[in-house]
Amino acid sequence: MAYKLPDLPYDYTALEPHISKSTLEFHHDKHHAAYVNNFNKAVEGTELDSMSIEDVIKKIAGDSSKTGLFNNAAQAWNHTFYWNCMKPNGGGTPSGALADKINADFGSFDKFVEEFKNAGGTQFGSGWAWLVLDNGTLKVTKTPNADNPLTSGQVPLLTMDVWEHAYYLDYQNSRPGYMEKFINNLINWDFVAENFSKA
């Protein structure tokens, strides 16, 4: 039951000028594809082959003998989730129940943005910034490398990739510049709201 590399949910040029066609081609077709291929090779013929990728991630998290497999599984999942967190003409502010919950749990949308930027900006090296639902409360968190909130019982609602390959072709070493564009111009709040309603 191989995990398939999903197509991007938009055209390679759809996120320009904020994220270039070149970045998406390298990031999706090379980086993401490699994680998917490595994961499929590693689980082929094992008991993990019949499990969903989410269940594999949860089952092997923390097992030092399976670090390589975990990294490829989690990165395959994280990237699929990340592509859906963006859309052309995204950004702005959410509405409805999600907006109310953000205001209730963070105090304001601006406070959420501040915490989200801080999580992305202070993640040393490679990793991810997340908006999660944790026991009924919205929280901002960050994870290093391939780690994700599934392993700690949190429900991921939104993620921002802060590995250099996510932004270096377009923003060089300016992670803050990339984060600004991601928040203001790319977030797919419909996808985030859908995750929230399902949680």
Domain ranges of the chain: 21-84, 96-198
Instruction: Tell me what pLDDT residue 1 has.
Output: 63
CATH 3.40.50.150 at 21-84, yes or no: no
- Whether 18 has a binding-site annotation, put simply, is no
pLDDT of res. 142: 98
Domains 21-84 and 96-198 share a fold: no
Q: Domain spanning 96-198: which superfamily?
A: Iron/manganese superoxide dismutase, C-terminal domain (3.55.40.20)
Residue 7 assigned to a binding site: no
Average pLDDT on 117-141 reads: 97
Report the alpha-carbon angle 55-148-69, nearest 5. Answer: 55
Q: How much is the pLDDT for 2?
A: 81
DSSP secondary structure of the chain? -PPP-PPPSS-TTTTTTTS-HHHHIIIIIIIIHHHHHHHHHHHTTSGGGGS-HHHHHHHHTT-GGGHHHHHHHHHHHHHHHHHHTB-TT--S---HHHHHHHHHHHSSHHHHHHHHHHHHHH--SSEEEEEEEETTEEEEEEEETT--GGGGT-EEEEEEE-SGGGTHHHHTT-HHHHHHHIIIIIB-HHHHHHHHHH-
Please report, rounded to a whole number, the percentage of residues in the chain having pLDDT higher than 70. Answer: 99
| Predicted TM-score (pTM) of this structure | 0.97
Cβ atoms of residues 127 and 147 within 8 Å:
yes
Q: Is 27 annotated as a binding residue?
A: yes
Q: Is 79 annotated as a binding residue?
A: yes
pLDDT in tens, 22-39: 999 999 999 999 999 999
